[in-house]
């Protein structure tokens, strides 16, 4: 689908990244895939792919993603700049390298779902966490700047709503993505809290992936579960840490 951009985040060396890029080209031409590279700069130059950006952001490369408040703001900003010369793009599918597609009509399904839900963003494991014992909420809410920031720009009646989502991937309408990407993160906020909370307070409608949540998690390695997940109706699977040699059989 020419109106969808695949924004692929990876830090892999060129030899491991090449088949992942080939896999995504089963869905789109290379011109509709943007590689956001978060690895080391010398490795970035070794990747032979036409549309790529180097994300030089230390907050993306933190050791402990949650405690060090990993940020994908640099990825979003780089993609936002690239999109300025691509007005034809209507949707952005942000996805990490180890989240793999399993169905050939993935983008038809995603576009249909976002329209059926009348949503601006489809997110995995979306939840409201303010006023709860969720560790991400407790870790941020003690900082007075946290609520001040979101309240200062919120168009919502309830300015203290805090949302959480998985950071492995999300499907965006272009307008919502551009709006979030154009904001500068005021201080380190964990991306799984910052991104959905900012989108919500800017007035955009977020919806959960529902039944697809069970196939996307932040733990383990689902390489051996691919066929089982496919039989259960999975559209995508995460994490798959090593692309199987027979990767061309993954998408059906």
pLDDT of 83 reads: 96
**Any idea of the CA torsion for 48, 81, 96, 183, to the nearest 10 degrees?**
160
pLDDT tens-digit profile of 113-149? 999 999 999 999 999 999 999 988 888 888 999 999 9
> What value does the mean pLDDT take over residues 155-181?
97
pLDDT of 70 reads: 65
pLDDT of 69 reads: 66
pLDDT class of 242 with cuts at 50, 70, 90: confident
Rounded-to-integer distance, Cα 164 and Cα 131, Å: 13
Least confident range from 1-15, 59-73, 195-209, 225-239: namely 59-73
3-class DSSP state of 83:
helix
Least confident range from 95-99, 162-166, 174-178, 222-226: namely 222-226
pLDDT class of 174 with cuts at 50, 70, 90: very high
pLDDT at 66 over 80: no
- Summary mean pLDDT of the chain: 90
Query: Which of the two residues, 225 and 61, has the higher pLDDT score?
Result: 225
* Class in CATH terms, 4-214: alpha beta
3-class DSSP state of 148:
helix
Q: Are 124 and 213 in contact (CB under 8 A)?
A: yes
Q: How wide is the angle at C-alpha 77 spanned by C-alphas 201 and 143, nearest 5°?
A: 45
Least confident range from 43-57, 162-176, 226-240: namely 43-57
Rounded-to-integer distance, Cα 227 and Cα 221, Å: 14
Q: Could you tell me what percent of the chain has a pLDDT over 70?
A: 91
Residue 202: closest CA among 185, 183, 186, 174: 183
pLDDT of 64 reads: 54
Q: pTM for the complete prediction?
A: 0.93
pLDDT class of 90 with cuts at 50, 70, 90: very high
pLDDT of 127 reads: 97
Q: What is the DSSP letter of 66?
A: T
Query: Residue 2: CA atoms inside 13 Å, Cβ hemisphere, count?
Result: 3
> What value does the mean pLDDT take over residues 84-113?
95
């Amino acid at each position: 689908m020419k109106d969808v951009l695949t924004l692929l985040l990876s830090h892999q060396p060129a030899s491991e990244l090449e088949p992942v890029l080939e896999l995504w080209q089963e869905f789109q031409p290379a011109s509709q895939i943007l590689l956001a590279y978060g690895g080391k700069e010398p490795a970035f130059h070794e990747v032979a792919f036409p549309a790529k950006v180097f994300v030089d952001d230390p907050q993306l490369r933190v050791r402990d993603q949650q405690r060090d408040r990993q940020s994908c703001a640099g990825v979003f900003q780089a993609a936002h700049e690239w999109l300025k010369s691509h007005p034809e793009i209507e949707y952005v599918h942000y996805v990490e390298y180890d989240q793999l597609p399993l169905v050939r009509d993935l983008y038809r399904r995603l576009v249909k779902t976002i329209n059926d839900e009348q949503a601006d963003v489809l997110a995995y494991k979306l939840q409201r966490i303010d006023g709860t014992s969720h560790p991400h909420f407790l870790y941020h809410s003690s900082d007075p700047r946290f609520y001040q920031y979101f309240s200062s720009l919120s168009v919502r009646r309830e300015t203290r709503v805090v949302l959480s989502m998985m950071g492995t991937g999300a499907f965006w309408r272009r307008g919502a993505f551009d709006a979030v990407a154009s904001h500068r993160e005021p201080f380190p906020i964990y991306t799984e809290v910052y991104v959905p909370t900012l989108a919500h307070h800017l007035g955009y409608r977020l919806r959960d992936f529902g039944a697809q949540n069970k196939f996307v998690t932040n733990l383990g390695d689902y390489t051996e579960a691919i066929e089982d997940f496919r039989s259960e109706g999975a559209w995508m699977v995460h994490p798959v840490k090593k692309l199987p040699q027979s990767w061309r059989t993954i998408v059906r």
